[in-house]
Amino acid sequence: MPALAYLNGEWMAPEAARVPIWDRGFMFGDAVYEVVRVYLGRIWLEQIHFDRLERSLKAVRNPAVDLIAVRQAVLETLTKSGLQEATIYVQITRGVAPRKHAFPSPPVEPTILIVALPYDDAATANLRENGVAMISRPDTRWGRCDIKSTNLLANVLANEAAHEAGAFEAVLIDRDGRVTEATHSSVLWVRDGVVCGSPEGNEILPGTTRRTVLSLIQDTGLSFREERIGLPTLQAANEVLLAGTTIEVLPVIRIDGQPVNGGEPGPVGRALQAAYRRSVQHWLSTGTDNCS
């Protein structure tokens, strides 16, 4: 099935969508976004994603967006697309106004973009089975990484460095030498039988998949703790995992060329992968999830 875009009340092919040059998302990155995964024609973790979208809009002082209408437009876009396995990208900007740093006064209508794209999980499933390499890069992002904004240049540059190094991702290290997260996924690690991750706050995005994985840890008989660690501690962890909307739970088997768990996916990652898939299947069969 082809991709389908929604832009300010109209549906079209994505390549036909046009935004004025004075849109503040284009000029300033004055926009927030979400990406959701569709399984068998249904949106996974829909409420959690929309709760985070609402939080991001409030954080950038753009709270007047009618999220009920946006949510309905997302569902209509998915229905019209006919896609069963897909991702849906939602982006909301402050709208179109003359280029001034101050907010438009009076406020203008937001620009609302929704794109439904077909998704083939085969390549990512292979990565989940075999694990991936990761490199480390300095975390040069702005100070509000908890907002899912479109200001992603630092992420792009770090991810391109990973790509050029033949790695899947880049783990970001802040000015104090501490692990934060990766360029477009959460980072978790296992030490002494405990699943660990960076504390939530302004330094990391509150990942929906991370939240889901943490809710499933009890199914594996494990526990979770927040901790701040440096790169050497991460490299010495028993296991390192990435979590994200499309990658789900993805084992890291090398960091900066150094093997993790002997260069093989580990048992905790395998257990969490299985728990995650069971949760998706439970939701598909019953209509309710056990992750919220």
Q: Are residues 104 and 158 in the same domain?
A: no
Q: Are residues 147 and 277 in the same domain?
A: yes
Q: Are residues 98 and 200 in the same domain?
A: no
The confidence score (pLDDT) of residue 287 equals 77
Q: Are residues 186 and 276 in the same domain?
A: yes
The DSSP code for 124 is H
pTM of the entire predicted model: 0.95
Q: Which two structure tokens, joined as six digits, stand for 21? A: 């040059």
Q: Are residues 229 and 198 in the same domain?
A: yes
Other beta carbons within 10 Å of 167? 21
Which residues are registered as beta bridge partners of 250? 242
Is there a contact between 284 and 42 (Cβ–Cβ < 8 Å)?
A: yes
For residues 247, 249, 255, 258, the Cα torsion angle rounded to the nearest 10 degrees is: -130
158 CB-side CA count, 13 A: 23
Q: Are residues 156 and 134 in the same domain?
A: yes
**Among the options 58, 80, 100, 148, which is catalytic?**
148
The per-residue pLDDT string of the chain (292 residues; one tens digit each, 9 = 90 and over) reads 799 999 999 999 999 999 999 999 999 999 999 999 999 999 999 999 999 999 999 999 998 899 999 999 999 999 999 999 999 999 999 999 999 999 999 999 999 999 999 999 999 999 999 999 999 999 999 999 999 999 999 999 999 999 999 999 999 999 999 999 999 999 999 999 999 999 999 999 999 999 999 999 987 889 999 999 999 999 999 999 999 999 999 999 999 999 999 999 999 999 999 999 999 999 999 977 655 5
The confidence score (pLDDT) of residue 92 equals 98
Q: Are residues 21 and 40 in the same domain?
A: yes
Instruction: Return the CATH number at 78.
Output: 3.30.470.10
Q: Are residues 279 and 142 in the same domain?
A: yes
- In a domain, residue 160? The reply is yes
**93-110 per-residue burial string, b: 16 or more CB within 10 A, e: under 16:** bbbbbeeeeebeeeebeb
Decide if 58 is catalytic.
no
Q: For the chain, what is the domain count? A: 2
For residues 102, 107, 110, 111, the Cα torsion angle rounded to the nearest 10 degrees is: -60
Q: Is the Cα dihedral 234, 235, 236, 240 positive or negative? A: positive
Name the E strands within the chain: 4-7, 10-12, 31-39, 42-43, 86-93, 111-118, 132-138, 169-173, 179-182, 186-191, 194-197, 224-226, 239-244, 248-255, 258-259
The confidence score (pLDDT) of residue 289 equals 64
Is there a contact between 169 and 134 (Cβ–Cβ < 8 Å)?
A: yes
286 CB-side CA count, 13 A: 9
Q: Where among 119, 154, 178 does a domain terminate?
A: 119
Q: Are residues 138 and 95 in the same domain?
A: no
For residue 176, give its domain range: 124-286
- In a domain, residue 292? The reply is no
Q: Are residues 100 and 135 in the same domain?
A: no
The confidence score (pLDDT) of residue 221 equals 86
Q: Are residues 268 and 143 in the same domain?
A: yes
- In a domain, residue 71? The reply is yes
- The CA-atom distances, in angstroms, between 92 and each of 65, 157, 187 are 9, 23, 27
Is there a contact between 242 and 187 (Cβ–Cβ < 8 Å)?
A: yes
Q: Are residues 94 and 184 in the same domain?
A: no
